[in-house]
Structure 1
Amino acid sequence: MKNLSLILNGILAVAVIYLYVLHFSGGSPAEPEQASNVSTGGIPKIAYVNSDTLLQYYDFFQDKRAELEDKAQKLQSDYETRAKGLQSEITAFQRNAGSMTMNQARALEEDLMKKQQNLVQYQQNLSTELMQEEAKVNEELYEKVAEYLEEYGANQNFKVVLTYTKNSGVLYADDSLDITRVVVDGLNERYNSADAGSSTQNDSTSAN
């Protein structure tokens, strides 16, 4: 009996975020907290976010990752319990088959085969469920980062904000273009503030 593999494949590599923040309102461009040398003359202001660093320090992603891993472990444990139970029934059948009539043995064998098929289907359902939840987290991650970068890019008059990570196709990027730390701090402040506000509201509702 093969064990179910519930590894969260590729979740750390999901946020390949290509955000083209174009045609912001004009005016005197404000200098960002980082990337002070982004623009020269008429060249559009460009910056980048290191997606590996963002994923490592963005509290939302780390919280969701922990939740998914915890759920995967629980589902894995449940599957293994079911698989061991079925294996015990199969072993008992093999031990006692000699004392059964042909009809009894055939009926029990068919029942065990049906249980085995159900277990395989259960395994597939678990994998699908985790993949769907992972996709939902990835979509929410993208939306949160995109929304924040659109606002931040508009304030700093950036025309393009790119992702930069190993194998992204960018061989070199000057550190003056890196706005990762500012973006991570802003995302965490927004996420933790919203989380604290939600907790306060829930406490107030419970008190009433």
Structure 2
Amino acid sequence: MKNSTHQTLYVILFSAIGFLLFMQFSNSDTKVENAENKEVILSNLIANRDSGNIINIAYVNSDTVSKYYEYAKKIQKDLTNKRSEAETQIKSKYFAYESLVKEFEKASPIMGDREKMEKAQKIRLLEQEIMQVEQQLSAQVSKEELRLTEGYILKTNDFMQDIGQRLGYDYVMSYRVGGAMLYANPNHDITNEIIELLNQEYESVK
């Protein structure tokens, strides 16, 4: 039972880690999508260069945005609370199970056969209950994670569409160390401005 409980706690923890990947400000794109996007952008750059048009491009540091964007912090806090609640419920059940097992082992030598069978049955039922609770809580946390992250992505995308147009940019790209963008000119870094505007947008609708 201890291994089962620990495994479930790991599942819940990994679910939260999975959520943090969403927080990397549009870093959930696949390598294929990144490659396709880069090809499209490069083609547009070449076309505009040849036609004499100027493309206005900026970028944001996605790690910094995730750290200071109030909406992202709220999502992280909500998921942490959900995970803690689930862990507390599982631990409570597990402690009750451990206590029952210790009590059974201690009293077993002086128990009659019928009493032993009844106690053993009670322990088995509690084991099954713990497994069911683990599965239910894991499913609930995963469902809540999906709901929160979908809402976060859609709403943040709406914010960025509005902000990008207001600032007059053709592209606002996401940059982070180890990401798809290998070099970014600091002169085009608008991370602080974007964080401020995102927080303003979030405050206006929450």
User: What range describes the TM-score normalised by the shorter chain of this pair?
Assistant: 0.7 to 0.9
Which residues of structure 2 form unaligned runs of 5+? Answer: 30-36, 38-47
Whether 1:52 and 2:63 are equivalent positions in the alignment is yes
Query: Partner of 1:62 in structure 2?
Result: 73
Query: Partner of 2:33 in structure 1?
Result: none
Report the secondary structure of 1:49's partner residue. Answer: strand
Moved more, 162-171 or 68-77: 68-77
The answer to whether the 8 A contact 1:153-1:159 is kept is yes
Query: Partner of 2:102 in structure 1?
Result: 91
Higher relative contact order (CA 8 A, sep 6+): 1
Q: Distance in 1 between matches of 2:53 and 2:167?
A: 15
Which residue identity lines up with residue 17 of structure 1 in the other structure? Answer: S
Whether 1:75 and 2:83 are equivalent positions in the alignment is no
Which residues of structure 1 form unaligned runs of 5+? Answer: 21-38, 196-208
CA RMSD across the alignment: 2.5
Pairing of 1:50-199 with structure 2 (within 5 A): 50-195=61-206
The answer to whether the 8 A contact 2:163-2:197 is kept is no
Match of 1:17 among 26, 29, 41: 26
Over residues 65-87 of structure 1, what are the superposed CA-to-partner deviations in whole Å (9 max), with x where a residue is unaligned?
22221232233222212211111
Over residues 45-69 of structure 1, what are the superposed CA-to-partner deviations in whole Å (9 max), with x where a residue is unaligned?
3222221111111111112222221
The answer to whether the 8 A contact 2:57-2:171 is kept is yes
Q: What is the CA-CA distance between 1:43 and the residue it aligns to? A: 4.3
Q: What is the CA-CA distance between 1:93 and the residue it aligns to? A: 1.2
Which residue identity lines up with residue 9 of structure 1 in the other structure? Answer: I
Over residues 150-201 of structure 1, what are the superposed CA-to-partner deviations in whole Å (9 max), with x where a residue is unaligned?
1122234433332211222211111222222222111111222333xxxxxx
Q: Distance in 1 between matches of 2:18 and 2:201?
A: 26
Runs of 4+ in 1 over 6 A off after TM superposition: none
Over residues 13-57 of structure 1, what are the superposed CA-to-partner deviations in whole Å (9 max), with x where a residue is unaligned?
21341798xxxxxxxxxxxxxxxxxx9742433222221111111
Over residues 99-137 of structure 1, what are the superposed CA-to-partner deviations in whole Å (9 max), with x where a residue is unaligned?
333233223212211211221221222222222222222
Q: May I ask how many residue pairs the two structures share in their alignment?
A: 177
**TM value normalised by structure 2:** 0.74
Report the secondary structure of 1:87's partner residue. Answer: helix
**TM value normalised by structure 1:** 0.73
The answer to whether the 8 A contact 2:72-2:152 is kept is yes
Q: What is the CA-CA distance between 1:97 and the residue it aligns to? A: 2.1
Which residue identity lines up with residue 127 of structure 1 in the other structure? Answer: S
Which residue identity lines up with residue 124 of structure 1 in the other structure? Answer: Q
Q: Distance in 2 between matches of 1:152 and 1:45?
A: 14
User: Per residue, is there more helix in 1 or in 2?
Assistant: 2
Q: What is the CA-CA distance between 1:146 and the residue it aligns to? A: 0.9
The answer to whether the 8 A contact 2:97-2:126 is kept is yes
